[in-house]
Structure 1
Amino acid sequence: MDTMELNAKAWLTLLLAGLLKQAAAQINQTAPVQTRDTVQINAPVDVVWRALSDVAGWPERYDFIRETQPPTDLRANELFRWRTTKLRLTSTILTVTPRQTLGWQGRRYGVTVRHYWHFQPTPEGGTLVVSEESQRGLLVSLLKQRFRRSLREGSRKWLHQLKAYSERTQPSTGVGGSITY
């Protein structure tokens, strides 16, 4: 095998790996119900990441989450359980890239949900958060408008509460320029 053929195979392998990783970090693009919402948070990405990735702390941060059984470790294929004001859920973590992407999937009553969070630091020291979620299943197809409205309201509420918590708890500079919490 010559060098050019080897380089082409290596390039193709890297390209496919990148595409698969990218595809794995997306909602179901063919789902009948989808939402994509963004919020600008005036807090560093580390603060915002902790506010979302610390599943055990969700009930104190988000008024619609009643309890959680966090994953043993924050990594792909780990399960976590949580209860909202309306549902008991079991979710499987799909992807974790600290301070960049967190995604999970769950299924309840024949409805499959994928939810991804993307974090982007801004030049001003804040964080742009993109929340994407898809829902599919028979109930979703039959009640599209209701599911769309509920999903949109829920997504915006979660982002609003993430913003409020992160901005309230962001680090401040203390004596000598050290970071204090």
Structure 2
Amino acid sequence: MSRTRSALTALSLSAGLFAVAACQSAPSGSPIPASGTTAPSGTPGSGTTAPSGTPGSGTTAPSDTQSSGTTAPSGTPGSGTAALSGAVTCEGHGINPATKLHHRTETRIDAPLETVWKTQTEVEGWPAWQKAAATAKRLDSGALRPGSRFEWTTPAPATATTPATTLTITSTVLDVRERECVRWRGPAIGQGLGIDEGVHVWTFTEVDGGVLVRTEESWSGAQLEADPATSIQYLAPGLDLWLADLKTAAEARSAQK
């Protein structure tokens, strides 16, 4: 368990996965929404609960951000945030329904739909606004479409049991509808660290004066599922951070116009 837990302290978003280093590098007082989500109680085959001292988020979500996901096991800290209504889907497809680890969150962004959509889907621009995206490149060209692929990296610092490494995430778009939704999946691979598959779904809905962005992500893999209570403690804040960064970037771009 200690190896898995150490690996996870270096991870956050993936296909979407980001390194927890991004959270650590955020300025003091930066909002990183609390999720209160951990592995479901009675997860079959895991037999694990959060180890003593497992960190909860302990942070307050911005007033217009909501988070939800799996149920915390008995004795595991959580925020008690109520579940959001409805799974996030694109073209009728969502996250991996068989996974034990998933998180869902949403926020309102005060910017035009076109600005929000371009900020999120112009992948090669991610390092300019995502705190933990070191590099990002398309492996094809043109607008995102089913089958489009992109590769991005995020640093993972050394821990007591793992060396410093770089996680390489190769994502493949599964579904997309222009300015409405996108869904992709892919693994994250680094020295001693790995996520077999992350599935990530985003939806974009115009509301009065802005855009409601909803997102949901699932992780799967033996390394993660060996300690699901710890794993979810890093999936949830990482996804919340990505959404917060998207909001900041899109609103800033809108203000410049």
Q: When the two structures are superposed, what TM-score results if normalisation uses the length of structure 2?
A: 0.56
Provide runs of 4+ in structure 1 moved above 2 Å: none
Q: Looking at both structures, which has the greater relative contact order when contacts are Cα pairs under 8 Å and sequence separation is at least 6?
A: 2
Q: 2 CA distance for matches of 1:21 and 1:62?
A: 26
Residue in structure 1 matching 2:206, options 106, 121, 132: 121
**One-letter amino acid matched to 2:94:** Q
Relative to its length, the structure with more strand (as a share) is: 1
The partner residue of 2:197 within 100, 105, 112 is 112
Report 1:4-19 matches (<5 A): none
How much identity, in percent, do the aligned residues show?
29
- 1:136 paired residue number: 220
Q: Is the 8 A contact 1:32 1:140 kept in 2?
A: no
Contact kept? 1:82, 1:89, Cα under 8 Å: yes
Aligned equivalent of 1:150 = 234
Native 8 Å contact 2:101 2:218 kept in 1: yes
Q: Does structure 1 residue 62 correspond to structure 2 residue 62?
A: no
Instruction: Tell me if 1:99 matches 2:169.
Output: no
Structural RMSD (CA) = 1.7
Instruction: Write the deviation string for residues 110-149 of structure 1: whole angstroms up to 9, x where unpaired.
Output: 5211001111100x22000011000112112112122211
Q: What residue in structure 1 maps to residue 148 of structure 2? A: 78
What amino acid does structure 1 have at the position aligned with 2:100? P
Structure 1 residues 161, 21: closer, same or farther in 2, change over 3 A?
Answer: closer
Higher helix share: 1
The whole-number CA distance in structure 2 between the counterparts of 1:55 and 1:162 is 12
Which structure has the larger Rg? 1
